[in-house]
């Protein structure tokens, strides 16, 4: 590989940042740069002394949290104190976020700050992208500034050019060299690799109790009934997780969900493959969520999102499917073509994509609606699909109130959506909540007193606190007002249990709880807490 080196280093939760990194790297190669994209989970394979130019592309999840694949590198940079660590590196940052959250683009802003603090030289002002307004509308003009800024940079040192000319580092390569040894020594992993500390190594926690909190479930509200809103109380035994599962009221539990089995089976049949088929060879930049994946069935069951991410359907996926259906037609195809800019319309691409997203059109429905007769090559499809992200639920108990267990309170909402150009309504269900309900089914539908041979299990992990969590005041005499509609009551239940425990040894301030519900007889949750 020849030309000036450029590393597009990404932190991506839903695939947007990864897709942007690959797109920019591809365009840079066309312009003569020795560009490549790399996930931050591979940061220990890098020798930063030989990375003269880095473009950081980072999304923010939740209220300013770092994506899973970039979390360790983010914390490493945050704690690193060597001011010359990145002195050989020129950098810029492309930050993706959602302006509906207070901590807009927080992760990208933090990388921008830490890279400068560690000696990096910023060659282009950070670009903050609001996913609400559309990614490409902001990124395209910024990329023109990027090419101009890159062209104005002085040629990198001999070391940087030598690194660019070398073969790319395999994703499975061991970290070697003096600097990489130093990185490993300072790595923050330690207990991070313990079971129950991350989505990559969840704890299989037995479900020891489950019950409906709403009367609609017990009075004929069957799964999938229109307008049914059911609330489920679940208790899992996390005692085997030890310290890794220790929590404070206000913390959240991560659930590693799976796609619905029947939907996966139908999709694999449509793609002409089987669950037992081995994974095909992928590109050099194997995304973090597909590393170690053995079969196609595993990928589509537990690694890939098939229609729930906020940016669904991803624009790269739409382009890939449209390329495989040159003669297709129909309302769904027209909307898709407008969304990717292949067809003009008064409403514009953003509105077209919003139409597809609100319909929650599935991958199988896209294949049919776009007129894709021959599915795209499996490696390309796997690369275009976003990762299946964990879901987080507020913990609904205090640790001392039920030691070794975590309680959850979650809504299971089924709704109908209509595809463009169709009057037929399609049932949609929440991915993770339905996954939990399926796992708990033996405890919900069995006869009273019936014992199971083995309790169902859920893959769980404790979400690392970000500092933005709700917390009880340090002074227990401080008056508090808690306001939580629906299952928003969950963390407050933990607060109230904690205050009940504290009441035995200290004076408490007043506490008022305001709980929103439509009907007291069917919507009061945990009335006796």
The model carries a pTM of 0.81
Q: What is the DSSP letter of 40?
A: G
Structure tokens at 278: 């081995």
pLDDT digits (tens, 9 = 90+) for 35-79: 999 999 999 999 999 999 999 999 998 778 899 899 999 999 999
Provide the pLDDT for residue 187.
43
Q: How confident is the model at residue 330 (pLDDT cuts 50, 70, 90)?
A: confident
Reply yes or no on whether the pLDDT at 170 is more than 60.
no
| pLDDT attached to residue 58 | 98
Residue 82 near residue 74 (C-beta atoms within 8 A) = no
Greatest mean pLDDT range, 174-188, 211-225, 243-257: 243-257
d(CA 58, CA 56): 6
Mean pLDDT of 306-311: 86
The matching CATH number, chosen from 1.20.990, 3.90.1420, 1.10.10, 2.60.120, for 261-384 is 1.20.990
Residue 483: Cβ within 10 Å count: 12
Per-residue pLDDT, 222: 44
Q: Stretch 138-143: mean pLDDT, rounded?
A: 92
User: Residues of 62-99 as b/e, b for ≥16 C-beta within 10 angstroms?
Assistant: bbbbbbbbbbbbbbbbeeeeeeebbebbbbbbbbbbbe
Quickly list H helices, 370-528: 378-384, 431-445, 490-503, 520-523
Share of the chain above pLDDT 90, in %: 55
Residue 180 pLDDT > 50: no
pLDDT in tens, 78-125: 999 888 999 999 999 999 998 888 889 999 999 999 999 999 999 999
| 248-257 confidence digits (pLDDT tens) | 999 999 999 9
pLDDT at 50: 95
Mean pLDDT of the chain: 85
Q: Across residues 262-290, what is the average pLDDT?
A: 91
Overall average pLDDT of the 151-167 stretch? 65
How confident is the model over 350-389, as pLDDT tens digits? Answer: 889 889 989 989 999 999 999 898 899 999 999 999 899 8
Residue 311 pLDDT exceeds 90: no
- Contact (Cβ atoms closer than 8 angstroms) between residue 86 and residue 50: no
Q: Where residue 220 falls among pLDDT bands split at 50, 70, 90?
A: very low
Quickly list DSSP for 85-110. TTTT-EEEEEEEE-TTSSSTTHHHHH
In sequence order, the 6+-apart residues with CB closer than 8 A to the CB of 443 are: 207, 209, 210, 211, 452, 455, 456
Cβ neighbourhood burial of 475 (10 Å; 0-12, 13-18, 19+): exposed
pLDDT bracket for residue 27 (50, 70, 90): very high
- pLDDT for the residue numbered 519: 58
Same fold, 5-188 and 261-384: no
pLDDT for res 228: 62
* pLDDT confidence tier of residue 438, bands split at 50, 70 and 90: very high
Please provide residue 386's backbone torsions phi and psi, each rounded to the nearest 5 degrees. -75, 160
* Confidence tier at 450 by pLDDT (50, 70, 90): low
- Choose the CATH number for 203-257+391-523 among 3.20.20.70, 1.20.140.10, 2.40.30.10, 1.20.1250.20: 2.40.30.10
Q: Is the pLDDT of residue 469 over 60?
A: yes
Return the domain boundaries, the chain.
5-188, 203-257+391-523, 261-384
Q: List pLDDT tens digits, range 338-353.
A: 988 888 888 888 889 8
Say if domain 5-188 classifies as CATH 2.130.10.10. Answer: no
pLDDT for 236-249, tens place per residue?
999 999 999 999 99
Least confident range from 330-339, 435-444, 481-490: namely 481-490
């Amino acid at each position: 590989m020849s030309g000036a080196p450029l590393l597009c280093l990404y932190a991506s939760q839903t695939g947007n940042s990864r897709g942007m990194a690959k797109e920019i790297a591809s365009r840079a190669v066309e312009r003569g740069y020795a560009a490549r994209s790399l996930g931050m989970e591979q940061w220990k394979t890098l020798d930063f002394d030989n990375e003269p130019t880095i473009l950081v592309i980072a999304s923010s999840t939740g209220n300013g949290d770092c994506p899973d694949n970039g979390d360790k590198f983010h914390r490493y940079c945050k704690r690193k104190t060597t001011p010359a660590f990145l002195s050989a590196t020129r950098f810029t940052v492309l930050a993706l976020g959602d302006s509906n959250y207070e901590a807009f683009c927080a992760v990208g802003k933090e990388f921008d700050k830490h890279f400068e603090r560690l000696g990096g030289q910023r060659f282009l002002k950070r670009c903050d992208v609001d996913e609400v307004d559309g990614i490409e509308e902001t990124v395209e003009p910024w990329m023109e500034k990027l090419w101009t800024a890159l062209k104005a940079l002085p040629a990198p040192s001999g070391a940087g050019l030598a690194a660019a000319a070398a073969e790319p580092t395999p994703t499975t390569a061991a970290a070697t060299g003096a600097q990489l040894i130093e990185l490993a020594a300072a790595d923050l992993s330690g207990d991070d690799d313990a079971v129950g500390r991350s989505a990559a190594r969840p704890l299989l926690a037995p479900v020891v109790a489950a019950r409906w909190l709403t009367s609609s479930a017990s009075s004929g509200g069957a799964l999938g009934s229109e307008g049914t809103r059911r609330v489920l109380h679940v208790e899992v035994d996390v005692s085997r997780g030890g310290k890794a599962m220790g929590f404070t009221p206000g913390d959240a539990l991560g659930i590693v969900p799976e796609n619905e089995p029947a939907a996966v089976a139908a999709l694999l049949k449509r793609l002409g493959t089987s669950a037992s088929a081995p994974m095909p060879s992928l590109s050099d930049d194997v995304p973090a969520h597909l590393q170690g994946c053995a079969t196609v069935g595993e990928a589509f069951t537990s690694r890939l999102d098939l229609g729930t991410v906020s940016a669904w359907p991803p624009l790269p996926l739409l382009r890939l499917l449209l390329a495989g259906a040159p003669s297709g037609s129909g309302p769904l195809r027209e909307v898709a073509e407008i969304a990717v800019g292949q067809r003009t319309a008064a409403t514009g691409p953003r509105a077209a994509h919003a139409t597809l997203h609100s319909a929650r059109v599935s991958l199988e429905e896209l294949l049919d609606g776009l007129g894709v007769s021959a599915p795209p090559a499996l490696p390309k499809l796997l690369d275009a699909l976003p990762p299946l992200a964990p879901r987080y639920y507020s913990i609904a108990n205090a640790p001392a109130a039920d030691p070794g267990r975590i309680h959850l309170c979650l809504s299971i909402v089924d709704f109908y959506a209509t595809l463009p150009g169709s009057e037929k309504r399609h049932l949609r269900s929440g991915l993770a909540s339905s996954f939990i309900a399926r796992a708990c089914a033996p405890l919900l539908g069995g006869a009273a007193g019936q014992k199971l041979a083995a309790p169902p299990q859920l893959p769980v992990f404790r979400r690392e606190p970000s500092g933005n969590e709700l917390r009880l005041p340090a002074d227990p005499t401080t008056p508090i007002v808690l306001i939580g509609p629906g299952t928003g009551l969950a963390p407050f239940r933990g607060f109230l249990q904690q205050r009940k425990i504290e009441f035995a040894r200290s004076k408490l301030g007043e506490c008022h709880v305001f709980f929103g519900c439509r009907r007291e007889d069917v919507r009061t949750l945990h009335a006796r807490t």
